[in-house]
């Protein structure tokens, strides 16, 4: 009988060990969730769950999600606009695809069309005062020219249908394309960004006021993620 009792205890040891291990893993998972922006457990009315109130070691049954504060746009002038965020995401998808080294025109054309549609949907930012009408219109013109450059440089095509553009639009587009090349080579620096911004501001004053030129240069660099 004693031998049997001893065997039973030995047989239970792995089960107890697994139970302890499982609890340790669960504790680790809870700690990980807390680190990912989760707050302590709560009921719908904000009170603690009964099990937790009665037993401080009880497993947590619910969590409250903490809002993420990170924004797509760095500049506070545009950081809180969902329309501009969607526009920026679409434009940056073109950059990401180009940096991936895949030369497929159909895929690039799809991403360009998505970005152009996002730009059109963002038009209400003009009435809300986030962008002036001249800055919004010229931003679209420069980006359309930049899209053509990206298609010809990174999608394997030799030509791309585009409208004739004013010299300042082509100049700004070329400056953005130079940043793309520097980024791909790992040579994009703060000095290069500053030079491109100043060059764009100077070129754009042919059509915009100095204030609008600065606004447009800031916006384009922020939209494409270079201001990060």
How do residues 55-68 score in pLDDT, each as one tens digit? 656 655 555 555 54
Query: How far is C-alpha 97 from the chain's CA centre?
Result: 14
200: enclosing H helix or E strand: helix 190-204
**Given a cut of 90, is residue 92 above it in pLDDT?**
yes
d(CA 181, CA 187): 8
The residues that bridge with 38 in the sheet, in sequence order, are: 65
pLDDT one-digit tens code per residue, 5-55: 444 444 444 444 444 444 555 455 445 444 444 444 555 555 555 555 566
The CA R_g of the chain, rounded to the nearest whole Å, is: 28
Q: Report pLDDT for 39.
A: 44
Q: Which of 9-23, 149-163, 179-193 has the lowest mean pLDDT?
A: 9-23
SS3 label, residue 102: coil
Going by C-alpha positions, the residue among 67, 53, 62, 55 that lies closest to residue 30 is: 62
Q: Report pLDDT for 155.
A: 85
Confidence of residue 213 (pLDDT cuts 50, 70, 90): very high
Are 133 and 109 in contact by the 8 Å Cβ rule? The answer is no
Higher pLDDT, 4 or 217: 217
pLDDT one-digit tens code per residue, 16-29: 444 444 455 545 54
Q: Report pLDDT for 53.
A: 52
Q: Report pLDDT for 188.
A: 92
Confidence of residue 202 (pLDDT cuts 50, 70, 90): very high
* CA distances from residue 201 to 11, 92, 124, 219, 227 in whole angstroms, order as listed: 78, 22, 24, 11, 15
pLDDT one-digit tens code per residue, 94-144: 999 998 887 788 999 999 999 999 999 999 999 999 999 999 999 999 999
Higher pLDDT, 25 or 209: 209
Q: Report pLDDT for 4.
A: 44
């Amino acid at each position: 009988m004693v031998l049997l009792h001893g065997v039973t205890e030995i047989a239970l040891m792995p089960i107890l060990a697994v139970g302890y291990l499982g609890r340790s893993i669960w504790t680790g998972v809870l700690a990980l969730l807390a680190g990912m922006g989760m707050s302590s457990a709560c009921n719908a009315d904000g009170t603690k769950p009964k099990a937790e109130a009665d037993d401080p070691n009880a497993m947590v049954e619910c969590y409250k999600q903490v809002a993420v504060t990170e924004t797509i746009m760095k500049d506070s002038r545009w950081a809180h606009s969902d329309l501009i965020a969607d526009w920026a995401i679409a434009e940056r998808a073109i950059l990401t695809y180009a940096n991936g080294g895949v030369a497929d025109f159909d895929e690039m054309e799809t991403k360009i069309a998505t970005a152009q549609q996002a730009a059109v949907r963002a038009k209400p930012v003009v009435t809300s005062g986030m962008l002036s009408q001249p800055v919004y219109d010229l931003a679209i013109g420069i980006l359309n020219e930049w899209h053509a450059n990206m298609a010809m440089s990174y999608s394997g095509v030799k030509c791309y249908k585009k409208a004739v553009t004013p010299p300042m639009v082509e100049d700004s587009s070329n400056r953005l394309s130079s940043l793309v090349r520097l980024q791909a080579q790992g040579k994009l620096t703060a000095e290069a960004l500053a030079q491109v911004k100043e060059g764009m501001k100077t070129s754009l004053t042919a059509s915009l006021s100095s204030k609008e030129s600065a606004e447009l240069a800031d916006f384009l660099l922020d939209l494409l993620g270079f201001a990060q």
